[in-house]
Chain A
Amino acid sequence: QVQLVQSGAEVKKPGASVKVSCKASGYTFTNYAIHWVRQAPGQRLEWMGWINAGNGDTKYSQKFQGRVTIIKDTSASTAYMELRSLGSEDTAVYYCARDKLVPPSSYDHWGQGTLVTVSS
């Protein structure tokens, strides 16, 4: 069965970076995209960016441009999201989600979420 398993919770200081992993199983990794979505406490879901797990193309929300990088390790069927220059406003649960490479989009499987806490 399809599974996306994310790395564990992180506590970071302001100004630091965090790297969250998302390991896929149960399907051909390179036939789909991986999207990253975050949710701050009590807030709406917020889309951050995505990677085509086939050719490695990426697109990011302009809000995070320059601070976020999404990469993949095809041999490990794993996608990574790195967010730099963390501030308290980056405290959130970060999710990865699988999507098809061609429309219509459907985020049909999600990781369990990774809580990132930014605190001095």
Chain B
Amino acid sequence: DIQMTQSPSSLSASVGDRVTITCRASQSIRSYLNWFQQKPGKAPKLLIYAASSLQSGVPSRFSGGGSGTDFTLTISGLQPEDFAAYYCQQTYTIPRTFGQGTKVEIK
């Protein structure tokens, strides 16, 4: 199975900060990567697909980048509603594995 490792596992930030989360795959997954946001008790919400494509309706402060094994999710100008957990997922092969998550908390 392809292992997905996110860093950091958690971070504290303030409203307005620029935040970057990293996701590393154990082998190349080309650009087959999704990013999700999840709030407590809720289903995940798709933010970015194919590594860098912004899902319809998602604010443009979210952006994704990378290919191969190293990927990033950047939030430019953190908003109060962005405090949540974020997960990456590879869709290159079965099983479609997820990272362990990054919890973004209020400083």
**Which A residues lie at the B interface, using CB under 8 A?**
35, 37, 44-47, 59, 61-63, 95, 97, 103-108, 110-113
Contacts and interface: CB of A to CB of B under 8 A. Distances in A.
A105 B38 CA distance: 18
A34 B97 CA distance: 16
Contacts, number: 63
Contact of A110 (B34, B44, B55, B87): B44
Interface of B: 31-32, 34, 36, 38, 43-46, 49-50, 53, 55, 87, 89, 91, 94-101
Question: Is the contact region of chain B dominated by helix, strand, or loop, or is it mixed?
Answer: loop
B98 A46 contact: yes
A61 B46 contact: no
Contacts of B55: 106, 108
Contact of B94 (A46, A59, A95, A112): A59
Closest 6 pairs (CB-CB, A-B): A105-B91, A106-B49, A110-B43, A104-B50, A61-B95, A45-B98
Contacts of B97: 47
Given A44-B100, A44-B101, A62-B95, A104 B53 contact: yes
